[in-house]
Homo-oligomer: A and B are copies of this chain.
Protein backbone atom coordinates (compact mmCIF):
# COMPACT_ATOMS: atom_id res chain seq x y z
CA UNK A 1 0.00 0.00 0.00
CA UNK A 2 1.32 3.40 -0.99
CA UNK A 3 0.03 6.56 0.67
CA UNK A 4 0.13 9.76 -1.37
CA UNK A 5 0.55 13.05 0.45
CA UNK A 6 0.57 16.64 -0.74
CA UNK A 7 2.54 19.17 1.31
CA UNK A 8 0.24 21.64 3.04
CA UNK A 9 2.93 24.30 3.48
CA UNK A 10 6.63 25.04 2.97
CA UNK A 11 9.36 26.38 5.24
CA UNK A 12 10.67 29.72 4.06
CA UNK A 13 13.86 31.14 5.55
CA UNK A 14 15.94 29.86 8.39
CA UNK A 15 18.86 27.54 7.85
CA UNK A 16 19.82 26.57 4.28
CA UNK A 17 21.62 23.36 5.21
CA UNK A 18 20.83 20.84 7.89
CA UNK A 19 23.44 20.96 10.64
CA UNK A 20 23.21 19.08 13.90
CA UNK A 21 22.92 21.60 16.69
CA UNK A 22 21.78 24.96 18.06
CA UNK A 23 18.29 25.06 16.56
CA UNK A 24 16.54 26.67 19.52
CA UNK A 25 16.61 30.31 18.35
CA UNK A 26 16.37 29.63 14.63
CA UNK A 27 13.44 31.56 13.15
CA UNK A 28 11.60 30.76 9.93
CA UNK A 29 8.25 31.24 8.22
CA UNK A 30 5.78 28.49 7.42
CA UNK A 31 3.84 29.45 4.31
CA UNK A 32 0.58 27.54 3.68
CA UNK A 33 -0.17 26.38 0.15
CA UNK A 34 -2.50 29.22 -0.87
CA UNK A 35 -4.04 27.23 -3.71
CA UNK A 36 -5.82 25.07 -1.11
CA UNK A 37 -5.71 26.96 2.17
CA UNK A 38 -6.82 30.32 3.49
CA UNK A 39 -6.40 32.20 6.77
CA UNK A 40 -9.48 30.23 7.95
CA UNK A 41 -7.37 27.05 7.88
CA UNK A 42 -5.33 28.38 10.80
CA UNK A 43 -8.03 30.46 12.53
CA UNK A 44 -7.51 30.29 16.28
CA UNK A 45 -4.04 28.83 16.06
CA UNK A 46 -2.45 31.99 17.52
CA UNK A 47 -4.05 31.10 20.88
CA UNK A 48 -1.50 28.28 21.19
CA UNK A 49 2.07 29.06 22.24
CA UNK A 50 3.54 26.06 20.40
CA UNK A 51 2.75 23.98 17.35
CA UNK A 52 3.74 20.50 16.29
CA UNK A 53 5.09 20.38 12.75
CA UNK A 54 5.23 17.20 10.67
CA UNK A 55 7.62 17.59 7.79
CA UNK A 56 9.52 15.74 5.08
CA UNK A 57 13.33 15.46 5.13
CA UNK A 58 13.33 16.13 1.38
CA UNK A 59 17.12 16.51 1.09
CA UNK A 60 17.80 12.95 2.22
CA UNK A 61 18.34 10.77 -0.87
CA UNK A 62 16.21 7.64 -0.90
CA UNK A 63 19.27 5.42 -1.19
CA UNK A 64 20.65 6.88 2.06
CA UNK A 65 17.65 5.75 4.10
CA UNK A 66 18.56 3.28 6.85
CA UNK A 67 16.40 0.24 7.58
CA UNK A 68 18.46 -1.53 10.21
CA UNK A 69 20.74 -0.36 13.04
CA UNK A 70 23.53 2.23 13.10
CA UNK A 71 25.36 4.46 15.54
CA UNK A 72 23.42 7.74 15.96
CA UNK A 73 25.20 10.45 13.95
CA UNK A 74 27.77 7.79 13.07
CA UNK A 75 29.30 8.36 16.50
CA UNK A 76 30.90 5.16 17.82
CA UNK A 77 30.65 6.51 21.39
CA UNK A 78 26.94 5.79 21.22
CA UNK A 79 25.42 2.34 20.89
CA UNK A 80 24.36 0.93 17.55
CA UNK A 81 20.56 1.13 17.68
CA UNK A 82 17.74 0.58 15.22
CA UNK A 83 16.62 3.41 12.98
CA UNK A 84 13.31 3.50 14.87
CA UNK A 85 15.21 3.85 18.18
CA UNK A 86 16.73 7.17 17.06
CA UNK A 87 15.40 10.35 15.49
CA UNK A 88 17.94 10.80 12.68
CA UNK A 89 16.65 12.01 9.35
CA UNK A 90 17.82 9.10 7.12
CA UNK A 91 14.78 7.09 8.19
CA UNK A 92 12.06 5.22 6.29
CA UNK A 93 9.50 7.74 4.95
CA UNK A 94 11.84 10.56 6.01
CA UNK A 95 9.32 12.15 8.39
CA UNK A 96 10.31 14.69 11.02
CA UNK A 97 8.11 15.77 13.93
CA UNK A 98 9.05 18.78 16.03
CA UNK A 99 7.30 21.02 18.53
CA UNK A 100 8.35 24.67 18.08
CA UNK A 101 7.28 28.10 19.29
CA UNK A 102 4.59 29.92 17.35
CA UNK A 103 5.70 33.55 17.28
CA UNK A 104 3.00 35.11 15.12
CA UNK A 105 0.35 34.43 12.50
CA UNK A 106 -0.16 36.70 9.50
CA UNK A 107 -2.75 35.58 6.93
CA UNK A 108 -1.53 32.20 5.71
CA UNK A 109 1.96 32.61 7.16
CA UNK A 110 3.28 31.49 10.53
CA UNK A 111 6.47 32.73 12.10
CA UNK A 112 8.07 30.01 14.21
CA UNK A 113 11.15 29.60 16.40
CA UNK A 114 13.04 26.39 17.12
CA UNK A 115 11.90 24.42 14.08
CA UNK A 116 14.71 22.08 13.00
CA UNK A 117 13.77 22.08 9.33
CA UNK A 118 15.62 23.94 6.59
CA UNK A 119 14.47 26.47 4.01
CA UNK A 120 12.25 24.79 1.39
CA UNK A 121 11.18 21.85 3.57
CA UNK A 122 7.74 20.46 2.61
CA UNK A 123 5.36 20.40 5.57
CA UNK A 124 2.87 17.55 5.81
CA UNK A 125 0.83 18.70 8.79
CA UNK A 126 0.55 21.40 11.43
CA UNK A 127 -1.07 20.61 14.77
CA UNK A 128 -1.60 22.72 17.88
CA UNK A 129 0.54 21.58 20.79
CA UNK A 130 -1.80 20.49 23.59
CA UNK A 131 -0.27 19.66 26.94
CA UNK A 132 -2.63 16.72 27.26
CA UNK A 133 -0.77 15.04 24.40
CA UNK A 134 2.44 14.97 26.45
CA UNK A 135 3.20 11.81 28.46
CA UNK A 136 0.99 11.54 31.54
CA UNK A 137 3.81 10.15 33.69
CA UNK A 138 7.59 10.36 34.04
CA UNK A 139 9.50 9.07 31.02
CA UNK A 140 12.88 7.40 30.84
CA UNK A 141 15.40 7.05 28.06
CA UNK A 142 18.94 5.72 27.64
CA UNK A 143 21.79 7.99 28.66
CA UNK A 144 23.10 8.46 25.11
CA UNK A 145 19.90 10.25 24.10
CA UNK A 146 20.50 13.05 26.59
CA UNK A 147 24.16 13.35 25.61
CA UNK A 148 23.27 13.55 21.91
CA UNK A 149 20.69 16.27 22.60
CA UNK A 150 22.90 18.37 24.89
CA UNK A 151 23.59 21.05 22.28
CA UNK A 152 20.66 20.44 19.95
CA UNK A 153 18.58 23.45 21.01
Binding site for B on A (CB under 8 A): 1-8, 24, 36-45, 47-50, 52, 54, 56, 67-69, 79-87, 91-93, 95, 97-99, 101, 114, 122, 124-136, 138-142, 145-146, 149, 152-153
Contacting pair A4 B2 (CB below 8 A): yes
A43-B85, A140-B49 known; A38 vs B68 contact (CB < 8 Å) = yes
CA distance A8 to B8 in the complex (A): 22
Contacting pair A139 B4 (CB below 8 A): no
Contacting pair B1 A3 (CB below 8 A): no
A5-B3, A95-B54 known; A131 vs B139 contact (CB < 8 Å) = yes
Interchain residue pairs with CB less than 8 A apart (19):
A3-B6, A3-B56, A5-B5, A5-B93, A37-B67, A40-B68, A41-B67, A44-B81, A48-B141, A49-B138, A84-B126, A84-B128, A87-B133, A91-B125, A93-B124, A95-B125, A101-B135, A130-B149, A136-B153
